[in-house]
A and B are shown apart, each in its own frame.
Chain A
Amino acid sequence: MSVTFARVEPSIAGVGDYIALMKPRVMSLVVFTALVGLMVAPGHVHPVIGFVALLCITVGAGAAGALNMWYDADIDARMVRTAARPIPRGRVTPGEAAGFGFTLATFAVVTLGLLVNVLAAALLAFTIFFYVAIYTMWLKRSTPQNIVIGGAAGALPPMIGWAAGTGSLAIEPVLLFLIIFFWTPPHFWALSLYRSEDYARAGIPMLPVVAGAAETRRQILLYTLILAPLGVAPWLLGYAGPVYGAAAALIGGVLIALALRVCREREGHRASKQLFGFSILYLFLLFAMLLIDRIPGALFGHFA
């Protein structure tokens, strides 16, 4: 019996490569929506505990990103959009990315559980599991509904933020979850419309690849028609003021108008790119307005 050892080159990965593994842009949206979940929650959270909760959620999201890049290294190398990621570029080995991701995930969940509360930690663990095991390993390569169901992972951070602040859940964080859940399909399908060749080359069954551009445009409009009223719902249910309601209706109207333009577009991808860009702004504005809506109450409540 002979044992052979593969020669492992010492790593040249820099700190920047490990930060890139954590998907900083996705992380920024996660931390922002989690912050809103934490801030709109009733009661008062000590700033240090709130900071630790957000830090753990951020690190947990980064861990999920690293584990996603570890598992998806083969398809990332075949897509123009992702070919420059640290693993396809040869800066980080898949094993290093997996070790990094698992370590961060463990630290984030355990720290959140010990220092903040167990419900928030359980939700964070479920989010990482859902994103890595359910979305990345299973749905992404097997069904065009991948980003619809997988979108639940991206929608959970406001619920984790709320749970970190209160130790419980209510209808309001579920509403925030639903807003992001129904925002994800039009956002990603708008992108996949003008990246469909990339997805086809990588063998990912995105909706435009499997069902065609016309069906994708129709589905984008359907999800946008559900999303826009959901964006106004916090005002309708009495969780936010009329200023929020009016602004949410206005940007929801813009989103529907852009989705209609995508539906009518036959040549080029101008409308799809506009919808993709505005969808990011839409979600940011919606959550920023929820935050602003709560600031006067929080301030007066604090100084009363």
Chain B
Amino acid sequence: MSTVTDAMNEQERQPSGIKLTEQQLRARRARSIAIALALGAFVIVIFAVTMVKLGSGALSGDDYMRPVQTTK
């Protein structure tokens, strides 16, 4: 029992996982910012193309409200 407790105490004292160096932290931060900017740009591209393809009046025009004609 005491062996298990000692091992647990040892685990708590030692920092778990890999400790990143200053250079690795800086590089990771720069990569994260670049990915965020790329994703933001992708969202803007999708939004812009959606506006171009649908057109500004696509959802508010007469076509949207006009009842569908059926043949007898």
Contact = CB atoms under 8 A, between A and B. Distances in A.
A15 B42 CA distance: 18
Given A10-B18, A10-B28, A15-B30, A49 B49 contact: yes
Contacts of B20: 10
A18 B49 CA distance: 27
A2 interface: no
B24 interface: yes
A107 B42 CA distance: 10
Contacts of B27: 11-14
A55 interface: yes
A18 B34 contact: yes
B58 interface: no
Contacts of A55: 45
A11 B24 CA distance: 6
Is chain B's interface secondary structure helix, strand, loop, or mixed overall?
helix
Contact of A15 (B31, B45, B49): B31
A80 B34 CA distance: 30
Given A11-B27, A12-B24, A15-B30, A48 B48 contact: yes
Contacts of A115: 45-46, 49
Contacts of B28: 10-11
A15 B34 contact: yes
A13 B31 contact: yes
Nearest to A59: B38
Contacts of B48: 48, 52
Contact of B45 (A14, A46, A52): A52
Nearest to A107: B42
B16 to A, nearest CB: 15
A87 to B, nearest CB: 16
Interface residues of B, number: 15
B52 interface: yes
A46 B24 CA distance: 43
Nearest to B50: A115
A14 B31 contact: yes
A6 to B, nearest CB: 14
Contacts of A49: 49, 52
Interface string B32-63: 00100000001001101100100000000000
Interface in A34-81: 46, 48-49, 52, 55
A218 to B, nearest CB: 47
Contacts of B24: 10-12
Nearest to A16: B30
B61 to A, nearest CB: 19
A12 B27 CA distance: 6
Interface in A100-117: 107, 111, 115
A55 B48 CA distance: 14
Contacts of B34: 15, 18
Interface string A1-38: 00000000011111100100000000000000000000
B11 interface: no
Interface of A: 10-15, 18, 46, 48-49, 52, 55, 107, 111, 115
Given A10-B18, A115-B45, 12 more contacts: A10-B24, A11-B28, A11-B31, A12-B23, A15-B30, A48-B49, A52-B48, A52-B49, A107-B42, A111-B42, A115-B46, A115-B49
12 contacts: A10-B28, A13-B31, A14-B31, A15-B31, A15-B34, A18-B34, A46-B52, A48-B48, A52-B45, A107-B42, A111-B42, A115-B46
